[in-house]
Chains A and B, each alone.
Chain A
Amino acid sequence: MTVRALRLPEETLIPELSETFFPTALEGRLGDLATLEDESIFILREAAAEFSRPVMLYSVGKDSSVMLRLAQKAFYPGKIPFPLLHIDTSYKFPEMIEFRDSYTREIGAELIVHQNREALARGANPFALGTQRCCGLLKTKALLDALSAGGFNAAFGGARRDEEKSRAKERIYSFRDSQGQWDPKNQRPELWNLFNSRIERSESIRVFPLSNWTELDVWLYIHAEKIPIVPLYYARERQAVVRNRTIVLIYSRDELLPGEKVQWIKCRMRSLGCIPCTGAIRSEADTVPKIIEEMISFRRSERENRAIDHDEEGSMELKKREGYF
């Protein structure tokens, strides 16, 4: 295994300590990624042991890919003891759907796909509704419906605290009331690694095993573990338009707005969402190490290209209160 192989060698022990106290183990010797891995596996096992109906929210993105690998490790040699749930808005990139189906089949995971068919039948789309309402229907409502349809009382999510300011205050076990809503002022205190899993029948907990990972950690782990990811993360010449200073990938002529012309742009996705609302970035990074190199030189956050976060100051917090992940 790659990460653990990088544990500090014996001679980096502080000499006077190793002489006096040998044999002793020093905390922190594991290296930070292995420490994060151990912590996340603990969280996955804890929730799987304590909740009757857990499910993993699988968004097909890089964070989900890491979370999925951690779940494989947590229960090895057993199978992952809960299904994966993908909320499909129908506006996802075709490469995501293709990857989702082939990869989950390959690792033998159980996959549930859920869509808000009613809203889609009424023609829900971000252009007509605006990103706020569209997300509300196709993501938040779809998610809450899927959770209640499956009777799930714990849902793993790949959210990280470093992603966005309101997420910085999120607990690892995030309590949701019977409407699936989050009350940031009334969160359960979380001390040590002792999580409170007690809930009433209609309530649920969102569990965030990657809470303490940063975007760079995720990429380093993907590199170290050779985790497969959706090819959209790698830079390639792609058909796109530049709309509101954002590069939007174009899959069919129907997606073009009046006056727009398709061009070939070497670009990649830094985070994956819905086609109309997730912008690409110009990039030459076509391998994971190059992506990491690019990241280190980045001075802009990964969610900057996500329209939903920027509708209004504090808009992510509002969405989370309503039940968004």
Chain B
Amino acid sequence: MLTFAASKRSESLAAFLDGDLRKDLLRFTTAGSVDDGKSTLIGRLLHDAKAVYEDHVASVQKSKINRSGGAFDFSLLTDGLRAEREQGITIDVAYRYFSTSRRKFIIADTPGHEQYTRNMATGASTADLAIILVDATKGLLTQTNRHAYIASLLGIRSVVAAINKMDLVGYREDVFIRLQRDFLALAAQLGIPLVECIPISALAGDNIVSASENMPWYSGPTLLGHLETVEFRQIRSLDRVRFPIQYVIRPDSHFRGFAGQLASGSLRPGDALVALPSHQETRVKRIVGFDGDREQAFAPQSIAVQLENEIDLSRGDMLVSPSSLPAVSRNFSAAVVWLHVDPLWIEKPLLLKQTTRSVKACVRRILHRVNVNSFEHEPAERLEMNGIAEVEVETSQPLFLDAYTTSRATGSFILIDPFSNATVGAGMVRETFVADTTSLEERNPATRVAAPGDLTAQERHLRHGHKPGILLLGDRLSLAKSLERALFQGGFESVVVDGSGVASPVLAGFLTALYAAGLVVLCTNTTLAPEDLPELPLEDIFKATEIPAAVKQDAETNGAQLIQDTLSFAGKLRLSPEHKPAGKEF
């Protein structure tokens, strides 16, 4: 009997250990306004999920403070710092941990007070899911817009609207339905793909861990039930390898290992790689580990790689797959959240850290500031703390970039003030201006890596006084020739390319090279489309609309309209006076 009991116990323990090691880890963030009851919700979640120790509960019971209006102030379980216990508000991001039999959780508990937008951005930056609290007695507030906007900006795909304080509205279904409809509309506007609305009372414990008896009309999951089962994993492409070099391990002269965390993709010994910025080609020899070599590594594993040949590679460089290169660029647009009391201004000297790479940088242009309450775009010359704007960034050295929506790890960066050393901004890459090649073979002047000292696109633009552009004019060669002269006389470097009958890929390569030279190209070819020039920004390509056969005889009026359109397109390529090269050098 005894042996049986003992072996059964050790079996269940082994099963537990095994099960626990297999659990996955969901990171979520919480956002709510000051009185939405967010701390109470988290305290309740931890308490009801049995994640709070008895002595912590006892110390809350002993505490002189109880602001909850209930018998037990759950918010005190999470409000950590003295100052906030005294002021009754959460003033900084706090991290909480709990697990259930199904999953482990890390909560980034972020304050909802207006001036702390930066804290929510911080918490959201590592989160897979966001819980946004809505007070059922108040409905959606401007803060709700702000919280949902920041969640979507930081790339959170899964959002829960916790409609709280249902006890104070008599647990009424119509109140919930109305708020759910409002929230779904908001999420749709922001393009948040996965949304769940749950009616709860954090104070009374309704629908937190167990289904509420007060809301029999609600058949959806409880909050914890949803957190335990929601699908949050990002599908990652195995073949888009991004391996930023973090540390070079060199125990002796025979071994050189490149250590880092695989940002995306997977690696196996023998895989071909390209080193950036050198563009040298190499192969994986071994994936070396303390526990033996690995057959394969996946993002986000921390690994060390030995390469087959000696190449120039150090911290800040990146190994990537030759079939799918990142953009290599010094100029890109980004969304920036400003985190510091000293505002951001154009040309302010900054340091930028992206992956393991740190470079000098500045913001060349603020495209617009985003009003996070109304989502309206506003013109701005500065960006104050907690402000969010779309900007154009220029760096002293090229970065290896992906759009943030494609890859958080290679599309995110922080900005540091080089004088105070403060972290002043957080950015998400939108697009690169010199978009990159799809393969090494297609290396051409428009997409070539700009090494330090290389002639840049900007320098060409400044000399010509305009940005390059491609005008696709169908079969109208004579029109192209007259436009060439008109533009030339108007101060443009213009050239006609008669591409009729030339295969699209060949023509595309030729046009891209002329574009890289900074020219305005007037091209005749009836099949080439803007999509055939993937390296070039769409706004720099003009395509004349086809003239329907029925109105072909009316070609003259049509031609006049076309000339007007092309001239107005060319006008937009001209550099505005504010584009003058102020403070060009770093």
Instruction: Write the residues of chain A forming the contact surface with B, with a CB cutoff of 8 angstroms.
Output: 1-4, 6, 8, 14, 17, 21, 23-39, 41-42, 45-46, 48-49, 72-79, 161-162, 165-169, 184-185, 187-194, 196, 198-200, 211-212, 214, 216, 220, 223-224, 289, 292-293, 296, 298-301, 304, 313-314, 317-318
Question: Do residues A29 and B416 form an inter-chain contact, with CB atoms below 8 A?
Answer: no
Q: Are A304 and B55 in contact (CB under 8 A)?
A: yes
**Are A1 and B292 in contact (CB-based, < 8 A)?**
yes
B81 to chain A, nearest CB (A): 5
Instruction: Pick the interface stretch among B118-126, B274-282, B474-482, B530-538.
Output: B118-126
B91 within 8 A of A: yes
Given A196-B421, A296-B16: 10 more A-B contacts, CB < 8 Å: A8-B22, A26-B236, A42-B246, A49-B246, A76-B290, A79-B251, A191-B126, A191-B423, A192-B408, A220-B21
Chain A residues, Cβ within 8 Å of B231: 14
A196's partner among B238, B288, B423 (CB-CB below 8 A) is: B423
User: Pick the contact of A38 from B56, B125, B302 — CB < 8 Å?
Assistant: B302
Chain A residues with Cβ below 8 Å from B16 are: 293, 296
Let me know if B81 and A184 touch, CB within 8 A: yes
> With A and B bound together, what is the CA distance between A317 and B82 in angstroms?
8
In the complex, B503 has a CB within 8 A of chain A? no
B238 with A25: CB separation less than 8 A: yes
Beta-carbon contact of B95 and A31 below 8 Å: no
For B249, list chain A residues within 8 Å (CB).
75-78
**Complex interface: chain B residues within 8 A of A165 (CB):** 78-81
| A146 CB, nearest partner CB in chain B, Å | 24
Shortest B532–chain A CB gap in Å is: 28
Report B-chain residues with C-beta under 8 Å of the C-beta of A187. Answer: 92
Output the nearest chain B residue to A165 by Cβ-Cβ distance: B80
A35 and B23 in contact (CB under 8 A), knowing A211-B95, A220-B17, A313-B63? no
The chain B residue with its CB closest to the CB of A3 is: B21
Residue of A nearest to B56 (CB): A301
Interface residues of B (CB under 8 A from A): 10, 13-14, 16-18, 20-26, 53-56, 59, 63, 78-83, 85, 91-97, 99, 104, 106, 118-119, 121-122, 125-126, 231-238, 246-247, 249-251, 255, 257, 259-261, 266, 288-292, 298-302, 304, 315, 339, 351, 353-354, 356, 408-409, 412-414, 416, 418, 421-423, 426
Contacts of B18 in A (CB 8 A): 6
Is A192 a contact partner of B125 (Cβ separation < 8 A)? yes
Tell whether, in the assembled complex, residue A46 and residue B290 are in contact, meaning their CB atoms are under 8 Å apart. no
Are B353 and A196 in touch, CB under 8 angstroms?
yes
Q: Which residue of A lies closest to B245 (CB)?
A: A49
Given the known inter-chain contacts A26-B236, A38-B261, A293-B13, please indicate yes or no for A77 contacting B255, CB distance below 8 A. yes
In the complex, are the beta carbons of B302 and A41 less than 8 A apart?
yes
26 contacts between A and B (CB under 8 A): A1-B290, A24-B237, A25-B299, A28-B26, A28-B232, A30-B301, A37-B302, A75-B249, A76-B304, A78-B250, A78-B251, A79-B251, A168-B96, A169-B92, A189-B426, A191-B423, A192-B414, A194-B414, A196-B353, A198-B351, A211-B95, A220-B21, A289-B10, A289-B17, A304-B53, A314-B85
Contact between A191 and B53, CB atoms less than 8 A apart: no
Smallest beta-carbon distance B304→chain A, Å? 7
Cα of A200 to Cα of B421 in the assembled complex, Å = 8
Contact A169 B104 (CB under 8 A): no
B24 near A32 (CB under 8 angstroms)?
yes
Question: A24 and B23: CB pair below 8 A?
Answer: no
CB pair A189–B119 under 8 Å, yes or no, is: yes
Residue of chain B at shortest CB distance from A318: B82
The answer to whether A212 touches B247 (Cβ under 8 A) is: no
**Cβ–Cβ contact B290 & A73, under 8 A:** yes
**Complex Cα–Cα for A216 and B53 (A):** 13
Which residue of chain B has its CB nearest to the CB of A69? B290
B301 to chain A: closest residue by CB = A38
In Å, the complex CA distance between A245 and B17 comes to 33
Contacts A29-B233, A38-B301, A191-B414 given; does A76 touch B288 at CB 8 Å: yes
With known contacts A45-B260, A73-B289, A169-B92, A29–B298 Cβ distance under 8 A: yes
CA distance A216 to B50 in the complex (A): 14
Please name the residue on chain B nearest to A223 by beta carbon: B17
**B92 and A77 contacting across the interface, CB-CB below 8 Å:** no
A170 CA to B408 CA, complexed, in Å: 23
The 4 closest A-B pairs by CB, nearest first: A1-B291, A165-B80, A198-B421, A32-B25
Q: What residues on A are CB-neighbors of B290 within 8 Å? A: 1, 72-73, 76
Q: Which chain B residues border A76 with CB–CB below 8 Å?
A: 249, 288-290, 304
Pick the residue among A26, A49, A167 that contacts B315 (CB under 8 A): A49
Give the docked Cα–Cα distance between A24 and B236 (Å): 6
Choice from A33, A74, A189 contacting B339 with Cβ under 8 Å: A189
User: Are A166 and B121 CB-contacts (below 8 A) given A161-B95, A196-B416, A220-B21?
Assistant: no
Residue in contact with A300 in the complex, picked from B54, B81, B255, CB distance below 8 Å: B54
Q: Decide: A300 and B53 in contact? CB cutoff 8 A.
A: yes
Q: Taking A168-B96, A194-B353, A194-B354 as contacts, is the C-beta distance between A189 and B421 under 8 angstroms? A: no
Neighbouring A residues of B122 by C-beta, 8 Å: 189-191
Chain A residues near B339: list those with CB within 8 A: 189
Chain A residues with Cβ below 8 Å from B301 are 30, 34, 38
Query: What are the residues of chain B within 8 A of A31 when measuring CB–CB?
Result: 21-24
| B80 contacts A166, C-beta separation under 8 Å | yes
With A49-B247, A77-B251, A165-B80 given, is the CB distance from A35 to B91 under 8 Å?
no
With a CB–CB cut-off of 8 A, which chain B residues contact A78?
249-251, 257
Whole-angstrom distance between the Cβ of B515 and the nearest chain A Cβ: 34
- Given A1-B291, A49-B315, A168:B302 Cβ within 8 A: no
**Contact call A23/B238, Cβ cutoff below 8 A:** yes
Please, how many angstroms separate the alpha-carbon atoms of A8 and B315 in the complex? 32
- Return the contact of A4 from the options B83, B118, B291, B418 (Cβ within 8 A): B291
> B80: which A residues are within 8 A, CB to CB?
165-169, 317
Whole-angstrom distance between the alpha carbons of A32 and B409 in the complex? Answer: 19
